[in-house]
Amino acid sequence: MPAPARGEIVRQIGQALRDKLEPLGKLVSLEMGKIKPEGIGEVQEYIDVCDFAVGLSRTIGGHVFPSERPGHALMEMYNPIGVVGVITAFNFPVAVYGWNSAVAMACGDTLLWKGAPTTPLVSVATTKIVASVLEKNGLPGAVSSLCCGGAEIGNAIAKSEKVPLVSFTGSTAVGRKVALTVQERFGRHLLELGGNNAILVDKSADIDMVVRAALFACVGTAGQRCTTTRRLIIHDDKAYTNFMSRVGDPLEEGILYGPMHSQQGVDGYLETLEQIRKEGGKLEYGGKVIDRDGFYVEPTIVTGLPHNSEVVHKETFAPIVYLLRCYSLEEAIEWNNEVKQGLSASLFTQDLGNVFKWLGPKGADTGIVNINIPTNGAEIGGAFGGEKHTGGGRESGSDAWKQYMRRSTCTINYTKDLPLAQGLKFE
């Protein structure tokens, strides 16, 4: 099937998702626990990636290079890689599959998806929407296949040589195992792993902007985003002590903060609080399980810990943020970069000179580098992913599509002569 025809299928998938935007978004809220606007926003993200992939289907290209040999053409061609295995996490049960599936389908690949075992309803509903479009166009619904289950399914996907690319989203610990398993058979892996993201507050920053941005960055999705802000590195001149809501059913209007996804998340929250106390940290706010039905915990603000303490360097998938006082932008950048993860980081500043320090070679070492916006809430047009223990993967926009294709360097001789490259004579 030509790429533009594949793009037409993806366009129809985007429309089918638009038709189910609110009910599917509510199902995300019901099963995952994020508030309804976030659940609907997640489905909208899949729709937006479909729009991107439709355009991509008309622009997938290669390159033509000048050949050093007379009468020769040198070019690159891209072809589908085949089956893409997609293993997604509970916190984004729709959007991350959307990043992979829309782009992979435009590239000509088929998919085998293992969603999180705790969000099977969302996985089934999403797959039914996609399969219905495929079948209306005379294609097998299995072009976009779903296999529900636990770690045994993910392990089988990682081991299978029939799956040339495995896209995994989850913890760094599990991602390391996936990478080794896939690499052992010389497959490709695309990893989106943990983050220990920081907002740096320069002495020239607009504090009102910082507070509004940090609220969403720290407690959006109850701290269960890989891009959640976990460290606020604040310049001493910026009223450090000033950094000292609405909680309820995530399906209700006006709620900003819902429950955590599971008891496992609550347990991790409590274990980290115990470690904070042992290391001498002070809880400025929060630190308790909320007494109501569901997995509700208080957003927690911690002070009194050094920037390089063990608990500060650990990613806890919960709404806990550490306030750290620094004395220069250079020091703040050094602290930002010292953690093992490298996903997202933000600088709030009104100083133009600091902008380019932050973006330059001695600035942030993360895959996503922001100025005057929070660490989370990325647009789909840019590639999403991070460095170091975040895995190095890139999904969604930009040229992330190249990972879903097989690249060939092609040389065509349209003469009767056989000159060799580099002027080599073999006669």
- Active centre residues (catalytic): 192
Among residues 326, 333, 358, the alpha carbon closest in space to that of 198 is found at 333
**Which residue in the block uniquely carries the two structure tokens 């990636």?**
49
Among residues 195, 169, 175, 176, the alpha carbon closest in space to that of 314 is found at 195
Task: Specify the DSSP element, H or E, that contains 35.
Answer: none
Buried b (16+ CB within 10 A) or exposed e, 168-188: bbbebebbeebbebbeeeebb
Cα three-residue angle 100-186-412, rounded to 5 degrees:
85
Q: In what order do the strands lie in the sheet with 282-285?
A: 282-285, 300-303, 320-326, 229-235, 197-201, 344-348, 368-371
| Number of C-beta neighbours around residue 117 at 10 A | 14
Task: Specify the DSSP element, H or E, that contains 408.
Answer: strand 405-413
Sequence-distant (6+) residues with CB within 8 A of 378 are 227, 344, 368, 384, 396
- CA gap 363, 336 in Å, rounded: 9
- CA gap 303, 123 in Å, rounded: 40
| Number of C-beta neighbours around residue 71 at 10 A | 12
Exposed / middle / buried, residue 402 (Cβ in 10 Å: 0-12, 13-18, 19+): middle
Structure tokens at 240: 């450090």
* Contact present, 239 and 250 (Cβ < 8 Å): no
